[in-house]
Amino acid sequence: MQVKWWRSGFFYLLLLAVIVVLVLVSIPRESPRPVALADFVNEAKTQQINTIGYWQEGQKLIGLADAEVICWTQYTETPEELSKLLNEEGVNVNAGKKLESNFDGSALDADGKLDDEHKVIQAEFMDLAKQGQIDTILQDGENLEGLKDSKITITSAFVGGTDDLRNYLEAAGVILGAEGIKVDVKPSGFDWGTIALTVILPIVLLGALFYFLFFRAARGAGTQAFNFSKSRARLTLDKRPDVTFADVAGTDEAKEEVQEVVEFLKSPQKFQSLGGRIPRGVLLVGPPGTGKTLLAKAIAGEARVPFYSISGSEFVEMFVGVGAARVRDLFDQAKRNAPCLIFIDEIDAVGRHRGAGLGGGHDEREQTLNQILAEMDGFDTSVNIIVIAATNRPDILDPALLRPGRFDRHIVIDLPDIKGRKAILEVHAKGKPLAKGVNLETVAKETPGFSGADLANLINEAAILAARRNRQDITLKELEDAADRTIAGPEKKSRIISTKEKEIIAYHESGHALTARMLPNADPVHKISIVARGVLGGWTRFLPSEDRHLWTKSQFDDRLAVSLGGRVAEEITFGEITTGAQNDLEQATKLARKMVTEYGMSEKLGPRTFGQRQELVFLGREISEQKDYSDKIAQEIDEEVHNIIQRAYDTAKKVLTKNKGKLKLLAEELVARETLDEPELDKIFEGLAPQPTPS
């Protein structure tokens, strides 16, 4: 929106500058002061004045400094005598002072006054006053008017105040008072032009400035106060769908679930004729990045109805009652545009369990939630408004919000499998120049656990890498490098490490790879690298042959052995261990403890779980654990965790000790080439076949 010129900051700045200039101009300046002749000469000697003007008619010497009159004195002699006086007093007129003998200091004419012929010098004016030819002297600024019978007969010039005039007349022998001449002062009157310029205009400009800066702002704030309870939802009325179900991949079952919502919005009579009622609310649940918001946009695009979108946090304000008012306003707007969709993203910000749970009670949030509950399933249930909400924290939502009649349908959008990842990659690869021979299914196999957002970022990173390498298309190399970058971060080829440390890292990663190669239940090795990425000094990527939803105990045992293979390789090669295995040990300990306490895989403790845990659903983070076992059992759990890890360590040690030659060959090749892909690894591992896990 274009800002009007009189509301711009430049206008206020210019207005302020004008006010400052006017104030400076209106500051009264010091008027010239009358001095004695001796003082006048002293000021000329001390360079306080640099120009002397001689006003012959007014019989005055005018002292100027930088063209400004600063003082004056009476002087009745000729200019020649003045020059002589100044030379006698030691004032060098030619060097320092400029004597203006033709200085024009005569009073100006005014309308209705005498012309120049009736103007006289002060000496003549005094003589006429002493002779009785005038009976009144009227001082009008710097002019003296001589009156006879109330008529002006003569004028002259005089610079000074009324007291100066009286003293001057008495010194000249003019009798004043009742027996002599009457002295009056003519009122100066009002100079309305000067008053308007120096007083009224600055006040007006200041008032205008205060009005625009404060009063309009206050009025705007008052208007905002009335809009404070208005809904902040964004309304989309465009009939052309920007996002459709064709843009959503990897969630086929979820699309089927919400397809009925689209059909109801397009033709509600089809369901109403059979007595069917469309769900009032659809709750999309899943990890971050799985496409919940994208699916909601696709529903609106397919149905081609008004679409309101808002975040749950936008309902909550500091003032109690504002959130509930915004909910009412949102549903009022939706009713006027029914049938329509309302999408509330991150509804857990406002839909938390009331009265208890995480965060405790919160009056504003609870009132907002109460209003949402009333609007979704209150007395008025005839309107065709469907509420779609998204969250990755369904465990903390209020039960009243989740019940049928409000959110009737809960749709879980999980991480995509291989088929879903391939479909997502195909969607995001549209319009991008992929090289011939690029198989997106291979990329899908290499990216287990990636969400839709991760895969979209992978395609974008691959395009950026191709542009950085000055390529015209995107090859499989860019896609794999982008996957590595997404998992572990960018390469740090500039990091300088010693030859010894590089060798240790190579043996460490070779230990992981060789252990995985020799164990039957471990995942195949896809790539090894000793080029640092992110916080990793080196890394080994495994490529599962399929997506797993169930894990066996033997798979966990081999996985633990692979995790500890790097530390074992360091020990049997160099005779000591380093800190490089810190993350491996951490992951191994967590997995072993889960095997004992969650999966019941301990032969000694039996098939049971230990501890009641509260976790962030779909986020994989544990909040707390309630201990439901004795200290003795806790000690046995620790012993079982230790035994499981120790057995895995012994397994890795047996495998690597038996194949120490291959370990050395792999490490030397890795030091020379820094990165080894699957075909190169197959050549090195030629002749090696997985062996049964040593007992």
What's the one-letter identity of residue 153? T
Spatial contact of 311 and 346, defined as CB atoms under 8 Å apart: yes
DSSP, collapsed to helix, strand or coil, labels residue 148 as strand
Say which residue the tokens 């949102």 belong to: 330
Spatial contact of 145 and 103, defined as CB atoms under 8 Å apart: no
Radius of gyration of the chain (CA): 49
Spatial contact of 295 and 413, defined as CB atoms under 8 Å apart: yes
> Cα separation of 102 and 53, whole Å?
8
**Helix/strand/coil percent split, the chain, to 5:** 50, 15, 35
Q: How many C-beta neighbours within 10 Å does residue 65 have?
A: 14
DSSP 104-162: --PPPP-TTS--GGGB--HHHHHHHHHTTS-SEEEEETTEEEEEETTEEEEEEE--S-H
339 cis-preceded (ω within 30 degrees of 0) = yes
What's the one-letter identity of residue 553? K
CA angle 452, 455, 458 (to 5 degrees): 155
> Cα separation of 80 and 60, whole Å?
15
Spatial contact of 206 and 199, defined as CB atoms under 8 Å apart: no
Spatial contact of 689 and 658, defined as CB atoms under 8 Å apart: no
By CB atoms closer than 10 A (0-12, 13-18, 19+), residue 36 is: exposed
Of 656, 665, 673, 662, nearest in space to 502 by CA: 673
Q: Count Cβ neighbours within 10 Å for each residue of 10-33 and write b for 16 or more, e otherwise.
A: eeeeebeeebeebeeeeeeeeebe
CA angle 230, 236, 240 (to 5 degrees): 170
Spatial contact of 202 and 17, defined as CB atoms under 8 Å apart: no
Q: How many C-beta neighbours within 10 Å does residue 521 have?
A: 19
Mapping DSSP onto H, E and C, the string for 595-615 reads HHHCCCCCCCCCCCCCCEEEE
Six-digit token pair at 374? 């009333």
- Tell me the angle at which helices 660-673 and 631-658 cross, rounded to the nearest 10 degrees: 80
Active site residue 509: yes
DSSP, collapsed to helix, strand or coil, labels residue 616 as strand
By CB atoms closer than 10 A (0-12, 13-18, 19+), residue 243 is: middle
Active-site choice (375, 446, 509, 669): 509
Give catalytic residues, as residue numbers.
509
